[in-house]
């Protein structure tokens, strides 16, 4: 793809400012369209199981393409669950039930999508603090605190400056947090997400639940990231 992978833009100090909010929102909407098709529109319900910025490719017009289906699995329906003893994927983007028990469904991709959106908004990576009992990651926790305290402007990638609408950031962040819930039953479907991102269609009355409190004291600071420790089952 002409513009490479998403991670080369959102985590790069030189390219990051070139990816303004309108382009980032376009990428988010494109990912939603792709996932709705994978989860509802295709003949089989497809779970990618490794959604992350490295696997989102950008074409000449910055349209996103979901890539790397080497870990993907097909399900018989969008409500089906399967189990595997070989957990693949990337730490920080794997859903808790998949990382710990090998259980996957379309809700596995929904979790990863939620983290992806938070990364697109913030330009930050999500680190799992497993030794402290973390299951969702520091970026998700930080974003929840910023949403709860109505300080989402602090979550936004500084390279965006003031070039964004806080109402759009708020809607996208709340939607992302509703996707990145620890319990799959609390997560949205991608069809819900597609409806929710229509800014004029509905108000966001749903509130994301607070992530489980860590076993050690947590300070919602995005600047100090701990290593990620995990073991596949």
Catalytic center residues? 50
Q: What is the residue whose two structure tokens read 């799992």?
A: 128
- Residue 1 CB burial class (10 angstroms; 0-12, 13-18, ≥19): middle
What does residue 77 show for φ and ψ, rounded to 5 degrees? -160, 165
The CA radius of gyration of the chain, in Å to the nearest whole number, is 17
């Amino acid at each position: 793809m002409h513009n490479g992978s998403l991670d080369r833009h959102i985590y790069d100090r030189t390219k990051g400012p070139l990816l303004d909010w309108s382009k980032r929102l376009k990428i988010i909407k494109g990912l939603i369209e792709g996932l709705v098709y994978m989860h509802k529109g295709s003949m089989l319900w497809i779970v990618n199981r490794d959604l992350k910025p490295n696997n989102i490719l950008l074409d000449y017009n910055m349209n996103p393409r979901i890539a790397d289906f080497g870990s993907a699995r097909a399900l018989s329906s969008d409500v089906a669950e399967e189990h595997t003893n070989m957990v693949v994927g990337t730490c920080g983007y794997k859903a808790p039930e998949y990382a710990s028990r090998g259980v996957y469904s379309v809700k596995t991709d929904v979790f990863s999508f939620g983290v992806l959106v938070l990364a697109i908004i913030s330009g930050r990576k999500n680190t799992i603090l497993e030794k402290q009992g973390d299951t969702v990651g520091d970026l998700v926790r930080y974003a929840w605190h910023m949403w709860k305290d109505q300080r989402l402007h602090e979550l936004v990638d500084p390279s965006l400056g003031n070039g964004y609408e806080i109402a759009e950031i708020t809607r996208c962040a709340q939607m992302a947090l509703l996707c990145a819930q620890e319990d799959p039953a609390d997560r949205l479907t991608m069809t819900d997400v597609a409806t929710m991102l229509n800014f004029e269609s509905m108000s966001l009355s749903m509130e994301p639940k607070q992530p489980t409190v860590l076993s050690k004291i947590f300070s919602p600071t995005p600047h100090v990231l701990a290593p990620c420790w995990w073991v596949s089952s």
